[in-house]
Structure 1
């Protein structure tokens, strides 16, 4: 039995676009997340193709008679169920809860002069409900939920004018909740801007022949927005703590060949460390600038932008960790992963979607990040999806999920004992919610079963799984 240090907050994590639903009431606008369709004919090998957003898919999404279903428009009705759902979190003894605020509830198009008061009122009530139950709110300001209007009119994050719109939106939240929210995540999984360009940057995959170069420019603008809102936050409250959020795509060399090791090092530089370097050191590493230039992108960073980035870095290192992969000189043997395909590791098991299970990798990553940046860590997402059927609406005995979470929590504590400072852990997710990548409900991450199918049909009833009661005990006893 491993004891989790009491200074590490334990909680759960969701996003607004995957849970809330009610996409067009009380003045809310259309977000880019809600334009992701569910394709029932999707098979495993086509997942990455399905994630790509094209001009044709946008037309389909805007067509009221589209043959496709768009699950994120409906979520799991968290918008109406949030009091019931937060009560379940409180009964689970969660220290904290991470969720996002839907940009389009506050500024429906993104460029309005005044915020939508009805949208703000919803989050007033939600945050108050968390505080009533002594649950610390961890708020993500932008979680793949930018207004579609900003794509249609301004081209998404490739246009620097979005920095201004984002800062106005984010500043509205900081001022509104300055006495209620301490921990803020300006952007979710910022490296998605390079790996999932629609979700991360509001770019179509067929928009430009050099889409990678375009995504680098978009990411630079996101970095500027991140630094700009931290600068604003410092003037609003000295109590605020701002965190980075990167999808950590950890990989190991497949063998001891020095060429494999060199390739792995370069892969990890560009998939992990380049992002954290900007967010925590306040400057681009030269290796990243060299690579950007190699595919025709010179960022032409101004002196003013360099100062903004350098003086407004994040306070803590937030990240998601689900799986790891391997790097080899032969890239033919790949399996699925978060945002990108990864090399298959013969030493690891995987779930039904090919995500490899590697709890020790979390400890390795935590040590590397803390050693490199000397800032406290916050594991903002960690979990595993399974197909679970529950026709009788009974408690699901998900021992497989318990084993996954147990093994990762043990490694977090071991990293803590290694000397790593850790603020908290929010597992993904307390409830079954709509999948980000495939927009299906069948890929269930929750500790609580939600009676809803891939087309949004069902009673929406919440039924705690065995893992819910297990995690409740962990939060109570701090033992795994």
Structure 2
């Protein structure tokens, strides 16, 4: 048995758009997440097709003529069942719980001056319920759920006016919960603005021939909004702690060929460090600036922008970690990752969606990030999805227990290496709608939800074997 550091917070996580449902209740507006369809004919290992939003698919979603189901409108009814779910968190003896605030509940169109009080009441009740049960709320302000109106009317994050709208939203919730929430994540997986432009930036994949260039302008505006949020938040409560959040895909070189090792290093600079650099060093790295210049992208970064970024960096590095990959010389022989394709690693097992399981990779990444930035880390998402069905009223998910146990062990090893780590929130508390494919059959939860990908089912909750295992870990602090 291995002891877990007593200072490491243990918990679970979800997002509003994947769990809440109630998409048209109490004045809520339409979000971009709710326009992502479920395609039952999709190859399970293909995460790119439905991740992309085209003009045609958007029009189909807006018409919603019954051809497709849009599961994030339904969620898993966390909106109505939050008390039951918080009790399950409390019974599991979790220290913390990460969720997000749906922008469209508070500002239905995104550009209003005054918030929707009915929307705020839901989060008042949710956060009060968490605090009452001695569960630390970890709040993501924007988790892939910006108001669709901000896309239709303003063009998404490529328009700098969204900085004003977003910071009005952020200020509203930070002011309201200044005495109840300490940990804030302004943007979930901020690098999705480049890899998944609809979810991350509200851009259509076919709206411009140079969508990468356009996404860089959008990302710069998001970075500025992130820094502005830190600035406003510290004025509201100097004890607030702000976290960056990057989707990390640790990659190895397939061989020790120096050219391939160099290629891998540049891959990690591009996909991981370039985002953390802005939010923790307060400036774009020379690597990033050279790359922008190479592709003739001029972000027109003003002196005011530079000052804002430099003076308002994040307090801790938050990130998601599910798998690792391989950089190889040849295209092909790839597997799907969380946000991008990657080479197969013959030393690792993968689940049915092609996600390669690599606990030691998490320890490697934690050491690299801490060495580079010297700030505490927070693993905000880590988990594994499987297609599961109740058998005799139970789910014996030993594979999930093994996954979590091995990753927690490597987190503890990293702490013993000298890495500061605030916490770990497993993805996810209960089965929720998949972000990438909008299916229900890719089940990550420690709690089974009786619902299929078409929204059918009782939505009743049944704790899995992993729930009881994690409860014992939280009580004993041993793995």
Aligned match of 2:137 = 137
> 401-410 or 329-338, which moves further after superposition?
329-338
Q: C-alpha separation between the residues in 2 aligned to 1:194 and 1:407?
A: 31
- TM-superposed deviation, 1:296: 2.6
Q: Secondary structure at the match of 2:47?
A: helix
- TM-superposed deviation, 1:51: 1.2
Per the normalisation by structure 1, the TM-score is 0.99
Aligned match of 2:33 = 33
Q: C-alpha separation between the residues in 1 aligned to 2:22 and 2:395?
A: 28
Aligned match of 1:280 = 280
- TM-superposed deviation, 1:98: 0.1
Alignment of 1:17-416 (within 5 A): 17-44=17-44, 46-390=46-390, 392=392, 394-416=393-415
Q: C-alpha separation between the residues in 1 aligned to 2:454 and 2:92?
A: 29
Q: Is the 8 A contact 1:243 1:314 kept in 2?
A: yes
- TM-superposed deviation, 1:66: 3.8
Q: C-alpha separation between the residues in 1 aligned to 2:384 and 2:125?
A: 30
Q: C-alpha separation between the residues in 2 aligned to 1:46 and 1:17?
A: 21
Q: C-alpha separation between the residues in 2 aligned to 1:156 and 1:83?
A: 34
Per the normalisation by structure 2, the TM-score is 0.99
Q: Is the 8 A contact 1:105 1:116 kept in 2?
A: yes
Q: Secondary structure at the match of 1:68?
A: coil
Indicate the RMSD between aligned Cα atoms, in angstroms.
0.8
Q: Secondary structure at the match of 1:244?
A: strand
CA 1:381–1:108: 2 relative to 1, 3 Å: same
- TM-superposed deviation, 1:295: 2.1
Q: C-alpha separation between the residues in 2 aligned to 1:50 and 1:77?
A: 23
- TM-superposed deviation, 1:328: 1.1
Q: C-alpha separation between the residues in 2 aligned to 1:358 and 1:173?
A: 37
Aligned match of 2:437 = 438
- TM-superposed deviation, 1:395: 1.6
Please tell me whether residue 479 in structure 1 is matched to residue 478 in structure 2.
yes
Q: Is the 8 A contact 1:205 1:211 kept in 2?
A: yes
Encode CA deviations 1:433-460: one digit per residue, 9 max, x unaligned: 0000000000000110000001010011
Q: Is the 8 A contact 2:197 2:204 kept in 1?
A: yes
Q: Secondary structure at the match of 1:350?
A: coil
Counting matched residue pairs gives: 479
Q: Is the 8 A contact 2:367 2:419 kept in 1?
A: yes
Which aligned runs of 4 or more in structure 1 are off by greater than 3 angstroms? none
> 57-66 or 381-390, which moves further after superposition?
57-66
Q: Which runs of 5+ in 1 are unaligned?
A: none
- TM-superposed deviation, 1:391: 6.2
- TM-superposed deviation, 1:47: 2.8
- TM-superposed deviation, 1:390: 1.8
- TM-superposed deviation, 1:415: 0.2
Encode CA deviations 1:377-434: one digit per residue, 9 max, x unaligned: 0000000000101265x12110000000000000000000000000000000010000
> 447-456 or 292-301, which moves further after superposition?
292-301
Encode CA deviations 1:163-185: one digit per residue, 9 max, x unaligned: 00000000000100000000000
> 325-334 or 310-319, which moves further after superposition?
325-334
Q: Secondary structure at the match of 2:340?
A: coil
Q: Which runs of 5+ in 2 are unaligned?
A: none
Q: C-alpha separation between the residues in 1 aligned to 2:243 and 2:100?
A: 14
Q: C-alpha separation between the residues in 2 aligned to 1:214 and 1:34?
A: 23
